[in-house]
């Protein structure tokens, strides 16, 4: 089965907003809050994602408004923490009422940049890569895989999930640039992870989510988040042997 990369990609691209928009949206909302430095704590961002998930669930249940405790408790957080987190970005609540679920969801998505869809590329079409490509959560949060890259000649030219083309890694540069792709998910073997990351950085990618179990570093403006699944299991097994700390 043959395909023309450019045309495959153009379709996916159409649904995506020019990335530059996001920057403005976020910066408008930032109202450098109470007694803080102006930088948003990393932990806050992690929790915003959790709020999104919880709000989506509430909305599915037709809940109109939720107060800080209602949002916090199912996530194992405190009401004060929720209010503080949201206050970093503005006054989203209604005193005496709480937060309108729909509105709050929109606001948080605007902050995270997920009120528009992001095109994402996958590098490494092995087991894990293929599973991630089918992972519902990514699509639910606004991320669309538009292409995959691999260096196995037997895979190149085929498609994943019947529509995502697997291309030669060399062609990633062009696609990153022409399709305005800013995010890449990397699932390649450990020993080539760093060179793949270097290549992506040189291609003008904005951020990399790395699943290879090795700490790779990225050239300056490129953001990198390393996910090591074994680390999570180790956290857990430590907690089990200790029987302390809730995590």
Partner DNA sequence: GTGTGTGAAAAACTTCACAGCT
Partner DNA sequence: AGCTGTGAAGTTTTTCACACAC
Pairwise CA distance, residues 245 & 247, whole Å: 6
β-pairing, 118-123 vs 65-66, is unpaired
Which range in 9-17, 145-153, 172-180, 217-225 contacts its own copies by CB under 8 A?
Answer: 217-225
Q: What is the DSSP letter of 183?
A: E
Any contact of residue 32 with its own copies (CB under 8 A)? no
Contact 247, 239 (CB under 8 A): yes
Pairwise CA distance, residues 148 & 160, whole Å: 8
DSSP calls for 13-26: HHTB--THHHHHHH
Residue with tokens 């085929």: 158
Nearer to its own copies, 4 or 76 (CB): 76
Nearer to its own copies, 115 or 171 (CB): 115
Report the partner that residue 154 touches, choosing among DNA, its own copies, none (CB closer than 5 to 8 A by kind).
none
In the region spanning residues 134 to 153, those forming contacts with its own copies, defined by CB under 8 A, are 134-138, 140-141, 143
Measured CA to CA in angstroms, residue 80 lies from 72, 201, 215, 218, 237 at distances of 9, 40, 35, 36, 30
Any contact of residue 111 with its own copies (CB under 8 A)? yes
SS3 32: coil
Report the partner that residue 15 touches, choosing among DNA, its own copies, none (CB closer than 5 to 8 A by kind).
none
Taking CB under 7 A as the rule, which mask of x and - marks residues 58-97 in contact with DNA? ---------xxx-------xxxxx-xx-xx---xxxxxxx
In the region spanning residues 42 to 71, those forming contacts with its own copies, defined by CB under 8 A, are 42, 45-46, 48-50, 52-54, 57
Q: Which residues bind DNA (CB under 7 A)?
A: 33-37, 41-44, 67-69, 77-81, 83-84, 86-87, 91-99
């Amino acid at each position: 089965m043959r395909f023309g990369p450019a045309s495959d990609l153009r379709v996916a691209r159409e649904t995506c907003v020019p990335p530059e928009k996001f920057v403005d949206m976020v910066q408008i909302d930032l109202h450098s809050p109470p007694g803080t430095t102006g930088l948003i704590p990393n932990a806050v961002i992690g929790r915003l994602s959790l709020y999104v998930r919880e709000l989506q669930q509430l909305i599915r249940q037709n809940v109109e408004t939720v107060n800080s405790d209602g949002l916090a408790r199912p996530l194992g957080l405190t009401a004060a923490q929720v209010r503080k987190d949201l206050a970093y970005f503005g006054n989203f609540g209604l005193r005496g009422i709480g937060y309108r679920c729909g509105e709050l969801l929109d606001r948080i998505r605007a902050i995270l940049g997920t009120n528009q869809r992001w095109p994402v590329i996958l590098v490494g079409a092995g087991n894990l890569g293929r599973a991630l490509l089918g992972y519902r959560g990514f699509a639910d949060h606004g991320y669309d895989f538009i292409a995959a890259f691999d260096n196995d000649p037997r895979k190149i030219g085929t498609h994943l999930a019947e529509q995502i083309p697997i291309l030669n890694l060399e062609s990633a540069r062009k696609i990153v640039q022409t399709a305005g792709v800013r995010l890449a998910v990397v699932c390649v073997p450990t020993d080539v992870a760093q060179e793949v990351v270097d290549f992506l950085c040189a291609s003008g990618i904005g951020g990399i989510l790395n699943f290879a179990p090795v700490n790779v570093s990225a050239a300056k403006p490129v953001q990198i988040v390393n996910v090591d699944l074994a680390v999570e299991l180790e956290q857990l097994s430590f907690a089990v042997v200790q029987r302390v700390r809730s995590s």
